[in-house]
Amino acid sequence: MAEHLTDEQQLESLKQWWKENGLQWVLIIALSVAGWYAWQQWQGNKKARTEMGSLIYIEMMDIASQAPLSALLDEQREAMVEKSESLKKDYAGSQYANYAGLLLAKLAVAEKRLDDAALELQAVIDNTQGEELSHIARMRLARLEMGRKNYPEALSLLEAETPPAILANVAELRGDIHLFAGNQLAARAAYQAALAAIGSDDQRLKALIELKLNQVLPAAIVVPGASAGEASATMEGGNGDES
């Protein structure tokens, strides 16, 4: 009898607890389930948007591959620009929007619209700070500025912290800029830094930089007691006195 009363008391206690707390737990469970479904839906929408963005970019690449960028038909060029603007507007912040910016910059260079190309590349840099794509855009913009003889601006673009994987490439480009600016000593130092940063498996890049290094002046021979200016003058004079 005592056990029966205990069961009844337990049942009554359970009913009382449910009366006081049941609705709260139902709401918690319902909100948890709803949150899970909302998360799944958001992830699905995000994946769908990413896939759509990739399709638009693939369409851009397909157009770009049909002819040299400088020889695209007007309708092809307009289609490329339209798809790029769609990516920038509807998929702002996505990698595909930034890829589109790089491709538009390439198109602008092909059409000799260097100011437009610089704007596109700078936008990619601003949108991808610290990311791999940012370094790619920086190097392309540095080459563009080198081509426009804006050597200080080109060098300043390479001052950002560089990932080890592209140290050699950045040093090589820095050497190219110094060489075009007429500073062969700085070019030589940059090429030497590039060689030091090259991995043992990248023999092709090593051969290219060694070729560039052989085209610049030899290292200055510092005469004991001579100033840096005198050493530089001696080197620049080279064999000019011989005749």
CA atoms within 13 A on the CB side of 32: 6
> Per the domain annotation, does 148 fall within a domain?
no
Tell whether 110 and 170 lie within a shared domain.
Answer: no
pLDDT of residue 25: 60
- Residue that terminates a domain, selected from 88, 111, 127: 127
> Per the domain annotation, does 29 fall within a domain?
no
Number of domains in the chain: 2
The Cα 134–Cα 124 span in angstroms is 7
- The pTM assigned to this predicted structure is 0.69
Tell whether 99 and 166 lie within a shared domain.
Answer: no
Residues 48-85 pLDDT 10s: 455 688 888 888 888 888 888 888 889 999 999 999 88
The Cα 14–Cα 169 span in angstroms is 72
**3-state DSSP helix/strand/coil percent for the chain, to nearest 5?**
80, 0, 20
> Per the domain annotation, does 20 fall within a domain?
no
- Residue that terminates a domain, selected from 91, 109, 127: 127
Whether the Cβ atoms of residue 61 and residue 96 lie closer than 8 Å to each other:
no
> Per the domain annotation, does 149 fall within a domain?
no
> Per the domain annotation, does 6 fall within a domain?
no
Helices (H), 181-227: 184-197, 203-215
> Per the domain annotation, does 101 fall within a domain?
yes
Tell whether 79 and 123 lie within a shared domain.
Answer: yes
pLDDT range class, residue 229, cuts 50, 70, 90: very low
Neighbours of 27 (CB within 10 A): 10
The Cα 158–Cα 174 span in angstroms is 7
pLDDT of residue 91: 86
Tell whether 107 and 173 lie within a shared domain.
Answer: no
Tell whether 56 and 105 lie within a shared domain.
Answer: yes
Average pLDDT, the chain: 79
Which positions ≥6 away from 133 have C-beta within 8 Å? 95, 98, 99, 102, 124
Report CA torsion sign: 72, 75, 76, 80: positive
pLDDT range class, residue 179, cuts 50, 70, 90: very high
Domain with 161, as residue range(s), is 154-218
- Residue 131: phi and psi, rounded to 5, are -95, 165
> Per the domain annotation, does 13 fall within a domain?
no
- The helix (H) or strand (E) run that includes residue 79 is helix 74-90
pLDDT of residue 239: 44
pLDDT of residue 220: 44
Percent of the chain with pLDDT over 70: 68
Task: With a cut of 60, say whether residue 38 has pLDDT above it.
Answer: no
Neighbours of 234 (CB within 10 A): 14
pLDDT of residue 69: 87
Tell whether 121 and 75 lie within a shared domain.
Answer: yes
Task: Name the least confident of 6-20, 104-118, 167-181.
Answer: 6-20
Nearest CA-CA partner of 69 in 55, 81, 57: 81
**CA separation, residue 156 to residues 54, 122, 141, 177, 192 (Å):** 33, 13, 11, 11, 20
pLDDT range class, residue 5, cuts 50, 70, 90: low
The Cα 143–Cα 174 span in angstroms is 10
Residue with tokens 């090259």: 198
> Per the domain annotation, does 185 fall within a domain?
yes
Tell whether 63 and 98 lie within a shared domain.
Answer: yes
pLDDT range class, residue 99, cuts 50, 70, 90: very high
> Measured in Å, how far apart are the chain's first and last C-alpha atoms?
129
Q: Which CATH number goes with the domain that contains 160?
A: 1.20.58
pLDDT range class, residue 43, cuts 50, 70, 90: very low
Residues 187-196 pLDDT 10s: 999 999 999 9
Residues 135-171 pLDDT 10s: 999 999 999 999 999 999 999 999 988 899 999 999 9
Tell whether 80 and 121 lie within a shared domain.
Answer: yes
Tell whether 53 and 119 lie within a shared domain.
Answer: yes
Task: With a cut of 50, say whether residue 103 has pLDDT above it.
Answer: yes
